[in-house]
Chain A
């Protein structure tokens, strides 16, 4: 059990202790939602849209999102592009190297269900859900930067609603299948 999940257990034994939990919850969620540093990870054409969204016209910076070249410094991985069966173990490894709590956006048709490679392909993983737990799916081939921005805002709203320990519970249930 993660340390953060124990906070409500002990704090709520004290009278008025729930103030500690809710305040901590709000501070943490606010911080996480507004500084989503994302990993530079692009494997196909979706990466072009990702780059465009990061550049000045659409400007990820205004959501507090900055690209990081190392998984150790990232909170979010935007899976931008086709994941082949050969790439899948590498993706899982990058995900495991990120700091907790970590979030995943599946961008584009390929990451959702294989996209145009659904039929007649021996090489493409049909959905990154098989490899890592996905928070937000963005359909499109590739999605326009507006869609990606909307997906990121959805993720921020999702993070802001999270309770202490929610993330760990979700990931644990994913890992147990």
Chain B
């Protein structure tokens, strides 16, 4: 299956849930509503023609208006790659855990919870593991984060 075939296949089988985003990047990128996350993720993994059995990474983005979680999938048997992102509200970011589908999501989700303050529903072990144990300064990867000894890069002189 080529990349174009994959796009057609997704459009015909998952068209109602996954909205294609035309970003010009190499791997196809889709947008997904948070309430469909677990259902669609499971379907992508179990689909006979896709078999997305490997979750490469989960990335979180703070756009200051909302939070995004970007999931990068790969299929080791069909040699396919696909990304999709889920948009959350900025005031109360919450997302379902996908550990049941890809166990490797465990630490990615913990990291997302720890550094961005995104709450993960149904996560079995949401505990601190990257920041120091005595950390009490909030979520450092948020755009509006600040601390007494945090020095922001000055704007370059033009």
Q: Using a CB–CB distance below 8 Å, which chain A residues touch chain B? A: 85-86, 118-123, 126
Whether the pair B132, A86 counts as a contact (CB closer than 8 A) is yes
Chain B positions 52-67 with a Cβ under 8 Å from a chain A Cβ: none
Contact B145 A122 (CB under 8 A): yes
Which label, helix, strand, loop or mixed, suits the secondary structure of the A interface? loop
Q: Assess the B132–A120 pair: CB atoms within 8 A.
A: no
Question: Min CB distance, B140 to chain A, in Å?
Answer: 4
Chain A residues near B150 (CB-CB < 8 A): 121-122
Within 8 Å CB of A118, what residues of B? 151
Chain A residues within an 8 Å CB radius of B34: none
- Report the Cα distance A120→B154, complex, angstroms: 10
Number of B residues whose C-beta is below 8 Å from A? 12
Q: Does B1 contact A (CB under 8 A)?
A: no
The 8 A-B residue pairs with the shortest CB-CB distance in the complex, in nearest-first order: A122-B140, A119-B153, A86-B132, A120-B153, A119-B151, A85-B132, A122-B150, A120-B152
Interface residues of B in 117-158 (CB under 8 A from A): 131-132, 137, 140, 145, 147, 149-154
B interface with A by C-beta (< 8 Å): 131-132, 137, 140, 145, 147, 149-154
Q: Smallest CB–CB gap between A58 and chain B, Å?
A: 35
Complex CA–CA separation, A120 to B131 (angstroms): 16
Chain A's nearest CB lies how many Å from the CB of B15?
41
Interface contact A86-B149, CB-CB below 8 Å = no
Q: A122-B140, A126-B151 are in contact. List 11 more A-B contacts (CB 8 A).
A: A86-B131, A86-B132, A119-B151, A119-B152, A119-B153, A120-B151, A120-B152, A122-B145, A122-B150, A123-B131, A123-B140
Question: Chain B contacts of A86 at CB under 8 A?
Answer: 131-132
> Which of B140, B149, B154: most chain A CB closer than 10 A?
B149
Instruction: Determine how close the nearest CB of chain A comes to the CB of B86; give it in whole angstroms.
Output: 25
Please, how many angstroms separate the alpha-carbon atoms of A123 and B132 in the complex? 9
Tell me which residues across on chain B come within 8 A of A85, comparing CB atoms: 132
Q: Specify the chain B residue showing the minimal Cβ separation from A126.
A: B149
**With a CB–CB cut-off of 8 A, which chain A residues contact B153?**
119-120
Kindly state the separation between the CA atoms of A122 and B147 in the bound complex, as whole angstroms: 8
Chain A residues with CB under 8 A of B137: 122
What's the least CB distance linking A124 to chain B, in Å? 10
Docked pose: A163 CA to B44 CA in angstroms? 73
Chain B CB count within 10 A is highest, among A85, A86, A119, A122, for: A122
Docked Cα-Cα span, A85 to B137, in Å, equals: 13
